[in-house]
Structure 1
Amino acid sequence: MKASLSKPDNAYPICFHDGNFVSWEEAVIHANCLSMRYALSVFEGIRLYRQPHLDELKPFALEAHVDRLGRSLALMLLPDPGISELDSLIKDLVIKNQIIEDTYIRVAVNTINFGELASPPTPSLTVTATKMGRKRWLAQGEKMKVSISKWQRTAELAFPSAAKNISNYAGPRLALQEAIAAGYDSTILINHEGYLCEAPTAALFIIQDEEVVTPPLSEGILPSITRKTILQLCDLLGIRATERRLRPADAYLADEAFLCGTGIEIAPIASFDGHSLKKMAESPITNKICQAYFQLVRGEISC
């Protein structure tokens, strides 16, 4: 079956790809290049938010995303294709596509040359834009049903968790597919000791006795920029927050919980493995954090 390269309805038509601004259909790599053969591709997702007081769009935490992308390149031993130019490239992409609403920017560094596993890599930078407002958890006020997966996050000695490389998502995808087939909305992976890590594409927070808790980075989770932002917001709001190892039972007994990430933003959780959370209906602390988060990304407050 031949896959269509036609642009999805929510994608903007102009992309930056391998040094040029091109159409969506032209932003492609060869099926036999190293990115496709050995999953040598690192990426970042960046949100553009409308700033009401400035009447313009602004990327949230761009410097942090560029820094993490640089660390991913270093961990994967890939050359830098010019990520310091991302600020100006994104601005040009906004102008060329006439973007005026909240948008998701995907930045990818692919290895486009042919060769064997140890061949010197030739990197190529691609930047695309997709219309993206709120996910249904915020847009429709829904709450997630989440499972605790039997699947484990890859151990640090097997692959660096801090590398936002596409191969790091293959195992979590299996866990997510299994959860969805069982009637859940998402799932939480564990580490080799049975402690909670994160969802396939989002960080985990639980709230117990008015304290916000998230697993530490040492549990083998991605250094999430949204996770770090939430911890900073808790400090600003005077909410107790800490990093601590969590067992499944901690999730079952939580008052509230939510997932967070660039794409999903904040998604309140109703239950873990069918255990309903005590304050999931009102979710007072989650709502307080969520309100502050959108004030922050829209430039109304700072932290």
Structure 2
Amino acid sequence: MHQFLPYAWFHGECVRFEDATLSVATHALHYGTGAFGGMRALPNPSDPGEILLFRADRHARRLSQSARLLLTDLSEETIHHAIRAFLVANQPACPVYLRPFVYTSDLGIAPRLHNIETNFLIYGLELGDYLSPEGVSCRISSWTRQEDRSLPLRGKISGAYITSSLAKTEAVKSGFDEAILMNSRGKVSEASGMNLFIVRDGQLITPGVDQDILEGITRASVIELARAMGLEVIERAVDKSELFVADEVFLSGTAAKVTPVRRVETTDLPLERPVMESLRERLTLITEGRDPAYDHWVTRIRIDS
């Protein structure tokens, strides 16, 4: 049962969550013509009156760019203002997940993006671990990740997540925790809502942006941190067989954070994961505002003023 925050940002102001309602004829509901973001916010462990947001600038930029793919304008400044007002109104006392969403709010029936009304909302819910920090089992999905020539994969377009939904349910109903999607060229792309990394012979390897992945913000952070820690990072095509012989496999995402993969199909992976553990530990320090070298990745919002 989800524990939603009491207020939502809706039509330019904070309203009670239960009052943020949409018509059954809303265009985005029928055609998937929306784009969303996901952000984690947590009270500062050393100052409960302050909320910490991880890489809020990057999240706002990606959502603004996603809106442009829907032929609508949503400035980064508008997003930042709404998030600040939303957090002040809700006064969260535990880690929460924020879902900003730009969508076609028109009530028309034609599938289009021109001459149509759009709107922007934010809601939030309490969220601990989305996936088990001890590790997840993954199956190779029978569903194929879409191509950028059929969907704008540089944005988090809501309609695109039908494939993720099918893959996730297929995985869970067949006894696994997560799905790994291949692209149309038969190479590893990503999980249902996370990017993927493998470690082989001391190298950190991840599918490149040419493999139909979402350009994940946690993914980019992991790559930057790994290089700063002296690890060799390679962005390239990854074959399915590499998943079975890798020294480590892990997933990254805002909800998933950094999560190890303990099994792929019927193959158990090594329990020792030194690269993943070091990266996860460093990211935890950063998100909790305890790493001065990366304090610029953290946005601090006072909610008690």
TM, length-normalised to structure 1? 0.91
Are 2:284 and 1:291 equivalent residues in the alignment? Answer: no
After superposition, the C-alpha distances for 1:126-171 in whole angstroms (9 at most, x for unaligned) are 1112111233522xxx211111112111111111111211111101
- The higher relative CO (CA closer than 8 Å, separation ≥ 6) is in 2
After superposition, the C-alpha distances for 1:219-272 in whole angstroms (9 at most, x for unaligned) are 111110000000011012112211111011011110111111001111111111
Residue 100 of structure 1: CA displacement?
Answer: 2.3
The partner residue of 2:68 within 74, 81, 104 is: 74
Determine if contact 1:49/1:60 at 8 Å carries over to the other structure: no
Pairs within 5 Å for 1:83-102: 83-102=76-95
Q: Which residue of 2 aligns with 1:133?
A: 128
The partner residue of 2:241 within 242, 249, 254 is: 249
Aligned counterparts of 2:225 and 2:132: Cα–Cα separation in 1: 20
Question: Which ranges in structure 1 are unaligned for 5 or more consecutive residues?
Answer: 1-7
Determine if contact 1:79/1:123 at 8 Å carries over to the other structure: no
Pairs within 5 Å for 1:117-128: 117-118=111-112, 119-128=114-123
SS at 1:12 equivalent: coil
Q: Which residue of 1 aligns with 2:52?
A: 58
Q: Which residue of 2 aligns with 1:150?
A: 142
Q: Which residue of 1 aligns with 2:171?
A: 179
Pairs within 5 Å for 1:170-209: 170-209=162-201
The amino acid across from 1:123 in the alignment is T
Residue 92 of structure 1: CA displacement?
Answer: 2.2
Determine if contact 1:111/1:124 at 8 Å carries over to the other structure: yes
Determine if contact 1:144/1:185 at 8 Å carries over to the other structure: yes
Are 2:268 and 1:276 equivalent residues in the alignment? Answer: yes
Determine if contact 1:57/1:101 at 8 Å carries over to the other structure: no
Aligned counterparts of 2:190 and 2:245: Cα–Cα separation in 1: 17
Q: May I ask how many residue pairs the two structures share in their alignment?
A: 290
Q: Cα RMSD (Å) of the superposition? A: 1.6
Residue 53 of structure 1: CA displacement?
Answer: 4.6
SS at 2:37 equivalent: strand
Aligned counterparts of 2:28 and 2:53: Cα–Cα separation in 1: 27
Aligned counterparts of 1:227 and 1:12: Cα–Cα separation in 2: 27
Determine if contact 2:60/2:80 at 8 Å carries over to the other structure: no
Percent same amino acid among aligned pairs? 26
SS at 1:137 equivalent: coil
The amino acid across from 1:168 in the alignment is A
Aligned counterparts of 1:212 and 1:157: Cα–Cα separation in 2: 28
